[in-house]
């Protein structure tokens, strides 16, 4: 499309069209065409409201609304020709609408600005992403619940500093991620509720003198209410920042799990077997089965974190109200949303398909003196030893076992009594990993009975 056409859209303010550099830096149609459906939905609601208020005629509104459906159909079918000269999705749609319906198209922009238009479109798009985000989280949480229930009593090592700490259960470990993702779910729902206000009708920054009904358009578009301050409405991008913030925290959780899956699937651990669907081979080493999906999820965090920081930097120095800087908001959010949804779907697939190697988990659970804390607790309970003294005695017993090249349970009672004479053979009852996990019956503990309580609690929550 010619620069002359672009100038006509501007209303004749400039004597000549922008040169190629200005057009390139100014145009957003290359990415904001993703807002087409939201833009047309907002415009149809605006036209209906204008007619209801007597600002345009019913016939004009009908022509506009039908014409917009034609434009949407062309876009969805891939038959729409986007023009960089028309800058953005709003002007591309309006220009095509004029081709279709003629003079009524010029009345559509009454009582609004591109400022409140784009704020509305973007909110609608982000709201849809929050809904998709929630769906993805729920699917992954349910996949984890299946794994947790299946392995509620499978013992495995629990780690701190990636060193064997105490035995836990597979179900308990899976439920730790359910809790993380549950907080993500809460943040998604909270942020979605907070953003659900409609900017349409705020116009450029000061509202409008036309007798519009902002409550009508807000309701039509599924918003809880209109925004209460026109200056804030057109310059606010908190909803996008909250999306990126919530996405960043969730991506961090996914990355932590991905890191564990990379470690667990290695030849050194062999805790899990990942399915072929989410692994790849090596071009040179035929024995390799690489956890590429997990590694890529781990890497996606960088893009999502980066988008969050980038938009923060865009917004941090802007005075009220709208500035063109804010055109840089969408690509960051689009990219983060795409990668987050891909990461959630890939993680769900891996969790559904992965198999725990139960024997390897159990063997590892008993290594590294993992029941040492149980021994210290026994000394406190059985012979009324102060915990700090029990800690010291247990450390001495661990040193003795290390010297003999055996585990705590393999020490003889006589050997143990050389460290403390009050130790009895009842101590062996706490030195097995199965008894260790069964004893952790405090609320939220790793005992299988407690794990099943938490699984049921989440099932009830998700109903």
User: Which residues does the annotation mark as catalytic?
Assistant: 161, 282
C-alpha dihedral sign at 356, 360, 363, 367:
negative
Integer Cα distance of 82 and 193 in angstroms:
34
- DSSP secondary structure, 3-43, as one string: HHHHHHHHTS-SSS---HHHHHHH--HHHHGGGHHHHHHHH
The four Cα atoms 78, 80, 84, 90 give a dihedral, to 10 degrees, of -110
Element (H, E) at 225: strand 225-226
- DSSP secondary structure, 376-396, as one string: HHHHHHHH---HHHHHHHHHH
Integer Cα distance of 270 and 383 in angstroms:
40
- DSSP-derived letter for residue 167 is E
- DSSP-derived letter for residue 224 is S
> What φ, ψ does residue 169 adopt, rounded to 5°?
-110, 150
Going by C-alpha positions, the residue among 125, 74, 28 that lies closest to residue 337 is 125
């Amino acid at each position: 499309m010619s620069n002359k056409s672009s100038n006509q859209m501007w209303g004749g303010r400039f004597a000549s069209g922008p040169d190629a550099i200005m057009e390139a830096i100014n145009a957003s149609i290359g990415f904001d065409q993703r807002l087409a459906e939201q833009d047309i939905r907002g415009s149809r609601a605006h036209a209906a409201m204008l007619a209801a208020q007597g600002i345009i005629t019913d016939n004009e509104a009908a022509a506009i609304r039908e014409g917009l459906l034609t434009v949407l159909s062309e876009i969805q079918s891939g038959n729409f020709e986007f023009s960089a000269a028309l800058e953005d999705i709003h002007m591309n749609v309006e220009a095509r609408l004029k081709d279709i319906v003629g003079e009524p198209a010029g009345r559509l922009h009454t009582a609004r600005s591109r400022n409140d238009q784009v704020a509305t479109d973007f909110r609608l798009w982000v709201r849809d992403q929050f809904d998709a985000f929630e769906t993805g989280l729920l699917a992954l949480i349910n996949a984890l619940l299946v794994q947790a229930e299946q392995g509620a009593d499978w013992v495995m090592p629990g780690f701190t500093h990636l060193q064997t700490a105490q035995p836990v259960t597979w179900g308990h470990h899976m439920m730790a991620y359910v809790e993380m993702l549950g907080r993500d779910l809460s943040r998604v729902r909270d942020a979605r509720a907070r953003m659900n206000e409609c900017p349409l009708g705020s116009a450029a920054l000061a509202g409008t003198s036309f007798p519009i009904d902002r409550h009508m358009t807000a309701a039509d578009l599924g918003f809880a209410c209109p925004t209460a301050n026109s200056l804030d409405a057109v310059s606010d991008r908190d909803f996008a920042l909250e999306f990126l913030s919530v996405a960043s925290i969730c991506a961090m959780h996914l990355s932590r799990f991905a890191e564990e899956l990379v470690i667990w699937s290695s030849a050194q651990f062999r805790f899990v077997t990942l399915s072929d669907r989410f692994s790849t081979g090596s071009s040179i080493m035929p024995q390799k089965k690489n956890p590429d999906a997990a590694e890529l999820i781990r890497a996606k965090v960088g893009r999502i974190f980066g988008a969050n920081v980038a938009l923060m930097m865009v917004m941090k120095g802007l005075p009220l109200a709208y500035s063109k800087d804010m055109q840089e908001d969408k690509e960051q959010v689009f990219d983060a949303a795409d990668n987050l949804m891909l990461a959630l779907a890939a993680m769900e697939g891996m969790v559904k398909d992965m198999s725990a190697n139960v024997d390897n988990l159990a063997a590892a659970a008993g290594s590294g003196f993992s029941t040492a804390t149980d021994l210290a607790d026994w000394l406190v309970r059985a012979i009324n030893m102060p915990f700090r003294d029990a800690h010291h005695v247990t450390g001495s017993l661990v040193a003795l076992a290390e010297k003999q090249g055996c585990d705590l349970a393999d020490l003889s009672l006589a050997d143990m009594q050389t460290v403390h004479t009050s130790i009895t053979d009842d101590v062996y009852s706490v030195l097995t990993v199965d008894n260790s996990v069964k004893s952790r019956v405090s609320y939220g503990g790793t005992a299988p009975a407690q794990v099943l309580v938490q699984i049921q609690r989440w099932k009830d929550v998700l109903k």
